[in-house]
Amino acid sequence: MKIGMALSGGGARGIAHLGVIQALQEEGIKIDVISGTSAGAIAGAFIAQGYKPKEVYDIIASTGILKSVRPAWSFSGLLTLDGFKEVLIKHIPHQSFEGLQIPLIVAATDLLKGAVCYFSEGNLITPVVASSCIPALFNPVAYQNSIYIDGGIVDNLPVRPLVGNCDFVIAVHTNPIGKKIDIKNMREVTERSLLLAINMNSGISKSLSNLVIEPPELANYTTLDISKAKEIFDIGYQYIKQNQQILQPIFQA
């Protein structure tokens, strides 16, 4: 049976992907194809390269995504991900989709066409960086005669490229909506608004999946909570360990 896994965007919450994958591997579940958006594209690229989840965690925790960003010196974004691009090149030196051990699909938003674009061949690094470019925060990425930004704007849970190509699709969504919000806190209001939009475009993806994994405790963390990486990793891991019954459809398929 060919198993595909879609990994959502979610900023720091995306570290939960690594905990989930660690637990799935311990249960003997092998992933044959990975698709990812933003944080999911980052995690997916490292896993597809052959790194173990805990190795990826160590790379992210030691580097710190926020430590790798640089001033953009432009009006299109406040920061550039050039520093993170260097991190990817260091750990995935062949820089190509074809060099990965597991097939990978990366979703990015084509700003000119206003549509999602799925990358799965050729240069790997640029699509992963493009998929992670949060609008207004990071500079858009120019690539292949177009301009790209965060894939989550259009497809935050890229299940569709897996449908029809896999026998079983697992979707890992790291953006549950919490019930608490400080309406006087502009950052919280802005982030919640973005989460609501993201969840709207993830609804269809969830319905197309055979199994949706969405640890509810992630609602207590924000996109920029990289300092809480260990807690977030453990939430993903423990969610699978404490809810192993949800894995039964995989073994029965």
Active centre residues (catalytic):
38, 150
Cβ atoms of 24 and 186 closer than 8 Å: no
Residue with tokens 């990358």: 119
Cα separation, 48 vs 99, in Å, equals 9
Buried b (16+ CB within 10 A) or exposed e, 111-139: beeeebbbbbeeebbbbbbbbbbbeebbb
Buried b (16+ CB within 10 A) or exposed e, 150-159: bbbbbbbbbb
Cβ atoms of 72 and 232 closer than 8 Å: no
Residue with tokens 């699509």: 127
Residue whose C-alpha is closest to residue 188's, from 213, 219, 152: 219
Residue whose C-alpha is closest to residue 92's, from 43, 135, 36, 32: 43
What is residue 163's DSSP assignment? B
